[in-house]
């Protein structure tokens, strides 16, 4: 079974074993059957025309009062019964699930967005996102100060929300973020687990 998570610039393909990330530029959709979620409005018509493309967006039985929640966030949340779901990508989304119900969530800039925003203020405000620092002591140079702000502001927001609940992290910067988050679990295939769960539930009702 092939699952596709289609974004604005890339598509992530999962065959049950590994994830392949492919640029959408020039991408040709598989000829065999595949299931997908899609956040790219420019591809809606194309996907509707493909008989082999199975849209999962309408089959999630997701309990929430949140308005306008993206299908990728829904899929990630759908994979757990209780905890905090963090998707650390271009933006960082944080959602709270309690007893299988979505309680709400919030959105923060991603790490690269933080870095770009500082650079827009001054060409001197540059730093290495990959450098290892401690968040327990105050920085003593500008580069570390910028990185400290990027990491600690994100971590504190998530920890304040999480309390004692487990934190499930996915996304491109997920591994990096997990190093600073207590009770965190990195899961590269969290979104695909949610997609698979929705498919399994649908098949049981058929």
Catalytic residue among 5, 72, 95, 173: 72
Distant-in-sequence, close-in-space partners of 149: CB < 8 Å, separation ≥ 6: 114
pLDDT in tens, 49-95: 999 999 999 899 999 999 999 999 999 999 999 999 999 988 999 99
pLDDT in tens, 158-167: 999 998 899 9
Does residue 206 register a pLDDT over 70?
A: no
The domain 80-186 belongs to what CATH superfamily? ATPase, nucleotide binding domain (3.30.420.40)
> Rounded to whole angstroms, how far apart are CA atoms 40 and 183?
33
Nearest to 103 by CA among 91, 94, 114: 94
- pTM of the prediction? 0.90
Asked, colleague to colleague, whether 3-57 and 80-186 share their fold, the answer is: yes
Q: Please report which confidence band the pLDDT of residue 47 belongs to, taking 50, 70 and 90 as the band edges.
A: very high
Q: What are phi and psi of 9, to 5 degrees?
A: -125, -20
**Mean pLDDT, rounded, of the chain:** 94
Residue 21, SS3? strand
> Rounded to whole angstroms, how far apart are CA atoms 27 and 32?
15
pLDDT in tens, 12-33: 999 999 999 999 988 999 999 9
Domain boundaries, the chain: 3-57, 80-186
The 3-state DSSP composition of the chain as helix, strand, coil percent (nearest 5) reads 35, 25, 40
72 included as an active-site residue: yes
% of the chain beyond a pLDDT of 90? 89
Contact call for residues 192 and 3 (beta carbons, < 8 A): yes
- CATH code, 3-57: 3.30.420.40
> Rounded to whole angstroms, how far apart are CA atoms 41 and 89?
19
CB-count burial class (<10 Å; 0-12, 13-18, 19+) for 198: buried
> Rounded to whole angstroms, how far apart are CA atoms 137 and 133?
9
């Amino acid at each position: 079974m092939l699952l596709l998570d289609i974004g604005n610039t890339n598509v992530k393909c999962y065959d049950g074993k590994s994830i392949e990330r492919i640029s959408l530029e020039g991408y040709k959709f598989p000829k065999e059957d595949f299931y997908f979620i899609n956040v790219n409005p420019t591809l809606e018509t194309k996907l509707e025309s493909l008989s082999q493309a199975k849209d999962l967006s309408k089959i999630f039985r997701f309990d929430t009062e949140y308005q306008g929640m993206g299908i990728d966030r829904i899929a990630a949340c759908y994979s757990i019964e209780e905890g905090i779901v963090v998707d650390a990508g271009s933006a960082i989304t944080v959602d709270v699930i309690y007893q299988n119900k979505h309680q709400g969530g919030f959105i923060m800039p991603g790490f690269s967005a933080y870095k770009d925003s500082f650079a827009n203020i001054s060409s001197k405000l540059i730093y290495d996102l990959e450098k290892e620092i401690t968040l327990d002591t105050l920085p003593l140079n500008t580069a570390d100060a910028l990185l400290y702000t990027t990491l600690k502001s994100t971590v504190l927001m998530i920890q304040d929300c999480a309390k004692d609940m487990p934190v499930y992290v996915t996304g491109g910067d997920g591994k990096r973020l997990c190093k600073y988050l207590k009770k965190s679990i990195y899961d590269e295939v969290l979104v695909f687990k949610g997609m698979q769960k929705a498919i399994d539930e649908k098949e049981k009702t058929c």
